[in-house]
Structure 1
Amino acid sequence: MKNLLLCVFIFTVATAFGESEDDIQIECKERSVHIKWKVNQSMSGNPARLLLGNCFPSSFTNMSNGDAWAEFIYQLSDCQFKRLATWKYLIYANTLTHRPLPKPYPPSFTYPVRCVYDRPKGWIPFLSPATGVIQGYGDLAFDMAILNYNLSGPAESNIFPLGSFVPIWAGVDQQSHQPLVLLLEECVAATTSEMYPDTLTYPIITNKGCLVDGKKSLSTFLPRYHSSSILLHLQAFRFAVGQEMYIHCKLIAWDPDDLSESKKACNYNKATEEWELLDDPTQNRLCQCCDSTCSGRAKRDEAAPQGLVLKSVLGPLTITEDSL
């Protein structure tokens, strides 16, 4: 990763918080961050009250005048860094805080930390004519693709043995919109690229985001890297074996703070025999309707962007009898 875009940002934030540019020094490296934070006497008494995300200082050096240097050297995968992908950049965001009192008391000082990189080619899956689609809808651009086994690029073949996994990726380019969460409201398999009243289908996702195929297979939504994409690890099933097959999906880009029974992504946990919300386990109640009828209606801001829904077709792909 290279071409860091930090100089202007650091200067602007330092001015906004009344700090000099030398008080907080941030160096973003390829996979890590090195931060030196000069703290005054009021903050230097207890280093454990100084945090980068949930990480304590890697080292702490007192100065003769009572001030001190707190140093943080951590990987970008540590300290609860949040990763955001735009069409051009990868952004890792976190916050430096001073907490003189434990939670729920708020911190007395906060300072945003951002490392911005050019997004590496291939980090977001490429699309190929046989296995991917990309469509614009309003001001949004939706993508879908079938990936290879290690999720690093497009599938090299559209033939999958029975029982193997078909990684299906979908994403939305947020462009200038507010942050959006990408949901798969409905997905079915069919032997035709167009749906007709008599088309024979196999349900994969139904009931407004419930991965029903996961109740009888190992299919699951994988944890998200960022809200604007979703990855379905679909286990190849016994439907139209040996024939060309298409995956028909309804994609929705939605307000991530407005999840409901009608806007969600739910996995089935076989161990607990319960449904779980992909994005926030504390709201698993939104998935309780998956075994009945999910009809909740989400409130929608009148100023929300239009063009949030798209029907898409992925394929063709073929499942063979050669089971794993």
Structure 2
Amino acid sequence: MEPLPETPESKKVDIYRDTWVRFLGYSNEVGEAFRALVPVSLVWASYALATAYVSADAVDKGKKAAVAHGDQPGKTTRVAVAVVDTFVWQALASVAIPGFTINRVCAASLYLLGKTTRWPLPMRKWTTTAIGLSTIPFIIKPIDSLYLWTESLLLVMHLVIECTDNAVTIKWRPKLTWVEKLDLSKARLGSCPPSSFSVDDDALLFSVLLSDCGFRRLVSEDKVTYTNVLTYSFYPELFSITEPVECVHNISSNAAVMKNLKKDLVFNLELMNSDFNGPAPSTTFLVGTKIPIRARVEHQGPNPVWIYLQRCMLANTPDLAQATQLHRLISNGGCLAESKEGNATFLPRREPSEICLYFQAFKFVLGEQVFLYCDMSTWDRQSFNVDKKACQYLKDQNRWELLDDPAQSYICSCCDSSCIHRTTFESGMDTQQVLGPFTMVDFQPSGTDQGIDTNQILGSFTTIASPPRAS
């Protein structure tokens, strides 16, 4: 998730909660600890000080509620509730519960010391006070946490989720106190901020595509599920408010097709030799040489299956989630980014179920293991759109071109920005394949050729011809 920006409101210090003043609320616990040594009037004076703190905090929260809600309808009610809510909860959490706890601890300690020791009374009283004072730090944090947890259970939350085929609209009011005013900068749907704010409902509005904001897509045989998380940084030092978001699309009509297709499909991602007629003779490549890659799907059905590479990333670990070095080759649903940012090219297809490409070895974790992760998808027919395409950048013409039909290269126009996915639920399969490890080096190891084909060194990819068709 992106870091939430700080606002003047989020930086403002609450003198009653964030400074030493908050400890005045626990003055009665100190009074209870000294009850055996001081006049009772001083104990009651400590309760008066703690009650004064609670009252001042309640008035402060009422003023903040008045400012937060401005001229909105129901302002008087919100202010009154904020004052009463703060006073009651603070009286319980800061005065009554901890005061009673220390009182009982000290009473029990004095009783047990009288029964089990022969210490003089003054020593027993001082020991009781010491026990009471040492107990205070151990009960403050649990009581504070219990207060915040209980309050969060009682606060009102409003959430409405409306899903369409490729988008979602959400209306959300997090569980806030009466003092809190909704702050758009504190809210996120995945990586996206709110689209707007509903004054009438006092709620956040999100209207986004399911391909944005970091939605996770899970495909099963009869449904497609999109999941994400709403987050609001209510108490950033303790916890954030989170709510799950889920959109489920049933595709039961295609379940049988997908089931049979899944059985028949075998995906392959391979390092090839320069002619694409056999495997690569080595897995070590000099910087500047071409690395041939073939993605292929094998199937038993009578109709051809088209294969596309949605995304390909180089990583330095076999687990993509643990990678510390990443480099994109293909992104945006089939745009060969490396053809613009480096040296790479697709080759004309020999058949629909195969796609071949070269990219030039470069200085990426030199001498270490490299893994290529590719998201691959199949389609039961040739149909080009922003979801299913293979686009490459022609540097000499300063434009993107669609591999399979240059006349429709307008489909690639989104490659320099963001391709909005128009998800449909037709027969097809998605999978991720991992290729590796292989290695890129900046020099040829002495004493051995390591199987490196130095004839593959490239200066440009503009002259690369199509691989020959298999005989």
Q: TM-score range by the shorter chain?
A: 0.5 to 0.7
- Please state if 1:143 is matched with 2:271: no
- Please state if 1:310 is matched with 2:469: no
Shift, 1:144, TM fit = 1.4
- Structure with bigger gyration radius: 2
User: Conserved in 2, the CA contact under 8 Å of 1:260 and 1:298?
Assistant: no
Secondary structure of 1:296's aligned partner = coil
Secondary structure of 1:288's aligned partner = helix
Cα distance in 2, alignment partners of residues 241 and 198 from structure 1: 15
Correspondence 1:1-324 to 2 at 5 A: 137-176=262-301, 178-196=303-321, 199-301=324-426, 304-305=427-428, 308-322=429-443, 324=457
Shift, 1:197, TM fit = 5.8
Shift, 1:217, TM fit = 2.6
Alpha-carbon displacement from aligned partner over 1:221-279 (angstroms, at most 9, x marks no partner): 10000110000111112211111100011111113332201111101000111110011
Please identify which structure carries the higher strand content.
1
User: Conserved in 2, the CA contact under 8 Å of 1:137 and 1:310?
Assistant: no
Secondary structure of 1:215's aligned partner = helix
Larger relative contact order (Cα-Cα within 8 Å, sequence gap ≥ 6): 1
Cα distance in 2, alignment partners of residues 280 and 299 from structure 1: 22
Cα distance in 1, alignment partners of residues 307 and 431 from structure 2: 11
1:163–1:143: structure 2 CA closer, same or farther, 3 Å change rule? Answer: same
Secondary structure of 1:286's aligned partner = helix
Alpha-carbon displacement from aligned partner over 1:110-133 (angstroms, at most 9, x marks no partner): xxxxxxxxxxxxxxxxxxxxxxxx
Shift, 1:199, TM fit = 3.3
Secondary structure of 1:145's aligned partner = strand
User: Conserved in 2, the CA contact under 8 Å of 1:267 and 1:277?
Assistant: yes
Cα distance in 2, alignment partners of residues 284 and 260 from structure 1: 10
Cα distance in 2, alignment partners of residues 250 and 202 from structure 1: 14
Matched residue count? 185
Counterpart AA for 2:431: L
Among all aligned residue pairs of Structure 1 and Structure 2, give the percentage whose two residues are the same amino acid: 37
Counterpart AA for 2:370: M
TM-score by length of 1: 0.54
Alpha-carbon displacement from aligned partner over 1:70-114 (angstroms, at most 9, x marks no partner): xxxxxxxxxxxxxxxxxxxxxxxxxxxxxxxxxxxxxxxxxxxxx
Secondary structure of 2:433's aligned partner = strand
Cα distance in 2, alignment partners of residues 198 and 142 from structure 1: 24
Counterpart AA for 1:250: D
Alpha-carbon displacement from aligned partner over 1:176-209 (angstroms, at most 9, x marks no partner): 1632211110000001111116632111101110
Which 5+ residue runs of structure 1 have no aligned equivalent? 1-135
Cα distance in 2, alignment partners of residues 188 and 218 from structure 1: 15
Secondary structure of 1:196's aligned partner = helix
Shift, 1:286, TM fit = 0.7
4+ residue segments displaced more than 4 Å: none
User: Conserved in 1, the CA contact under 8 Å of 2:316 and 2:323?
Assistant: no
Alpha-carbon displacement from aligned partner over 1:119-178 (angstroms, at most 9, x marks no partner): xxxxxxxxxxxxxxxxx9543111111011222200111000001011001111131163
1:138–1:297: structure 2 CA closer, same or farther, 3 Å change rule? Answer: farther
Please identify which structure carries the higher helix content.
2
TM-score by length of 2: 0.38
Cα distance in 2, alignment partners of residues 157 and 239 from structure 1: 18
CA RMSD across the alignment: 1.9
Counterpart AA for 2:353: S
Cα distance in 1, alignment partners of residues 267 and 438 from structure 2: 20
Which residue does the alignment assign to 1:108?
A: none
User: Conserved in 1, the CA contact under 8 Å of 2:335 and 2:415?
Assistant: yes
User: Conserved in 2, the CA contact under 8 Å of 1:166 and 1:233?
Assistant: yes
User: Conserved in 1, the CA contact under 8 Å of 2:305 and 2:378?
Assistant: yes
